[in-house]
Amino acid sequence: MPITRDDVRRSALLARLSLTPAEEERFTADLSHILDAFTTLQALPTEDVEVMRPLDSELAPLRDDVVTNPPAADALLAGAPDLHGRLFHVPKIIE
Amino acid sequence: MTPLIDSTLQAAAAGVRSGAHSARELVDAALARIDAVDARLGAMLTVDAEGARAAADAIDRRQAAGEPLGPLAGVPIGVKDNICTRGLRTTAASRLLERFVPAYDATVVARLRAADAVVLGKTNLDEFGMGSSNENSGFHPTRNPWDTSRVPGGSSGGSGAAVAAGECWGALGTDTGGSIRLPASFCGVVGVKPTYGRVSRFGVIAYASSLDQVGVLARTVDDAALLLACIAGHDPLDATTSTRPVPAYVPGHGADLRGLRLGLPREYFVDGMQAEVDTAVRRAVAELEHLGARVQSVSLPHTPYAIATYYLVATAEASSNLARYDGVRYGERVADAGDGVLEMYQRSRAAGFGPEVKRRIMLGTYALSAGYYDAYYLKAQRARALIARDFEAAFAACDALVTAVAPTTAFPLGARTADPLTMYLSDVLTTSVNLAGLPAVVVPCGFDNAGLPIGLQLIGRRFDEATLLRIAAVHEAASGMRGRRPPL
């Protein structure tokens, strides 16, 4: 199934990426080309296959619910592109 | 006397401990080497001369006071720039993080410092680890020290080039689909991609979280083993790390390989493989057989599905992981943010991400989106289980697998940039290892007719890095490849 320009626009919106018309054209071609090469996967019978769980039972142990990381608010705020005092400044979200 | 920069990491650290040379001398030698060659290579994104000298001086003062020093005493190490270093710019080679200064060290960096290593600087990579050639760096490509018209491999290409060129004694890398092993192979150094869960990823900028793993690059197997021992083990800050104890990684010098069963996966000797690569790998296998290993052919029948599976799983996870770059809490925000918060996100991300990162976010978003999830992402997750099962079956009959790392040696810059799929196929022999969560070690095994290095890939059972390092050390000793350096 070829990828259309509308598919690309829809994915770009979901991905929060503004694309130029040239990028839309390029990604329409690229995604079609890549997914076309990946169609071999569709022929692989997998109906009875369980999805692999990358975290086996040995992993992900529980720990006590206590704070272990020291507060570093100033250091973290220092990286923000736009601050108002100690608040992150963003464009108006609610009218 | 061997110049300092040509010494092994172990010898460099031993010399600092004994007082034969100072940590400051090691740092100054590394900085001088960077000054001499890095303009031609572009392996470093940030060199922390001041911080490295201060750390070295502190170690030298402790040495003078008779205090015990750690296993990496005073040795300058390069850190891939997607691994956070407190107070030192960490960009992931993305314009979006050009000015990002972490407030904390990644656990692997903290462990290097605890072992008395000196963080020399940050090495170049494909943006967010997305690439096989280092040409996707948002700043500049890295060049291969053996031939500067060729790529060093990616995405840990800066680490591979820096270690091969003698800019540092070892480096950290990350490997999501081959990103330590390809540069190790192309640059003629040793690379270790540990088992998923062996090394902490706390403070590592995520690409594809079910695949990402931190590992090491060094000039000898011993040095790589020592670095791995220093960073491996459980980390309470990373719930995916294993609580299994870390064994002593002591490569077996002089040991033979009697009783060891090696498998040659039929599907890994692919059509279109460069003849010299095929020959070098087969010669290495014959050597291992001569040293006592039993060699048998094995089959990993789902190998042809690995590239599609990998690029669907990895890009889906990437599209989610990279959603955090919103231009609000850190990273760049465009000056003209448009009208409202949605446009601010869209424009900042569009300005910050490079073309390959956008391509992968788009592919992953599409593969996860309503109507396509079952056909692409779920399908790939099921295929992934089959690929992992292939390895389980192979390891019932053998202790390690021996393969090439890539079908070719280092290719020229620009040779594979026109078609993304051609670049993706560079990873045809490495991605399955990540999909199955296995460890792999790369050790140099020869050169092609143009003098470019060829790497041998050893793949092992989960958490069996020790066996791979033993085989690699025996091969290294027998092959005469140890310590071969590019004529820069």
Point out the residue among A3, A23, A90 whose CB comes nearest to the CB of B341.
A90
B142 pLDDT more than 80: yes
- pLDDT-above-90 percentage for chain B: 91
* DSSP-derived 3-state class of residue B328: coil
Most B-contacting residue of A11, A20, A58, A64 (CB-CB within 10 A), to test interface: A11
Mean pLDDT, residues B16-30:
98
Confidence of residue A93 (pLDDT cuts 50, 70, 90): confident
Residue B178 zone, left/alpha/beta (φ > 0; ψ -120 to 50; rest) = left
Q: Of the candidates B377, B354, B352, which has an alpha carbon nearest to the alpha carbon of residue B364? A: B377
Instruction: For residue A75, give how far its alpha carbon lies from the nearest alpha carbon of chain B (Å).
Output: 6
* DSSP-derived 3-state class of residue A25: helix
Question: Which residue type is seen at B51?
Answer: G
Confidence of residue B488 (pLDDT cuts 50, 70, 90): confident
d(C-alpha B381, C-alpha B432), whole Å: 13
CB atoms within 10 A of CB B69: 18
- Arithmetic mean of pLDDT over chain B: 96
The model's pLDDT over B70-119, given as tens digits with 9 standing for 90+, comes to 999 999 999 999 999 999 999 999 999 999 999 999 999 999 999 999 99
What the block records as the tokens of B317 is 């996870």
Question: Which residue type is seen at A95?
Answer: E
User: B294-298 and B261-265: which strand pairing?
Assistant: parallel
Query: What pLDDT does residue B239 have?
Result: 87
User: B261-265 and B190-193: which strand pairing?
Assistant: unpaired
Q: Is B323 in Cβ contact with A11 (below 8 Å)?
A: no
CB atoms within 10 A of CB A72: 12
Task: Kindly give the interhelix angle for B221-231 and B9-18, rounded to the nearest 10 degrees.
Answer: 70
d(C-alpha B179, C-alpha B182), whole Å: 6
Strands (DSSP E) found in B278-416 = 294-298, 400-404
Question: Which residue type is seen at B64?
Answer: A
Q: Alpha-carbon Rg of chain B, whole angstroms?
A: 21
Confidence of residue B255 (pLDDT cuts 50, 70, 90): confident
- B101-131 in b/e burial notation, b at 16+ Cβ within 10 A? bbbbbbbbbbbbbebbbbbbbbbbbbbbbbb
**At a CB cut-off of 8 Å and minimum separation 6, what does B167 contact?**
B30, B33, B34, B37, B38, B41, B43, B44, B78, B120, B161
Mean pLDDT, residues B455-460:
98
* N-term to C-term CA, chain B: 20
The model's pLDDT over B285-320, given as tens digits with 9 standing for 90+, comes to 999 999 999 999 999 999 999 999 999 999 999 999
Q: Is A30 in Cβ contact with B333 (below 8 Å)?
A: no
ipTM metric? 0.94
Q: Is B309 in Cβ contact with A41 (below 8 Å)?
A: yes
Q: Of the candidates B453, B462, B467, which has an alpha carbon nearest to the alpha carbon of residue B219? A: B453
Preceding peptide of B210 cis, ω within 30° = no
- pLDDT-above-70 percentage for chain A: 91
Active site residues of B: 80, 155, 179
Q: Are B83 and B203 in contact (CB under 8 A)?
A: yes
d(C-alpha B136, C-alpha B155), whole Å: 9
**At a CB cut-off of 8 Å and minimum separation 6, what does A39 contact?**
none
Query: What pLDDT does residue B233 have?
Result: 96
Instruction: For residue B320, give how far its alpha carbon lies from the nearest alpha carbon of chain A (Å).
Output: 9
How far CA B204 is from CA of B168, B175, B356, in Å, comes to 21, 12, 20
Highest mean pLDDT among A57-61, B106-110, B334-338: B106-110
The model's pLDDT over B60-82, given as tens digits with 9 standing for 90+, comes to 999 999 999 999 999 999 999 99
Point out the residue among B244, B327, B363 whose CB comes nearest to the CB of A31.
B363
Q: Of the candidates B360, B266, B278, which has an alpha carbon nearest to the alpha carbon of residue B304? A: B266
How far CA B296 is from CA of B47, B71, B137, B292, B293, in Å, comes to 47, 38, 41, 13, 10
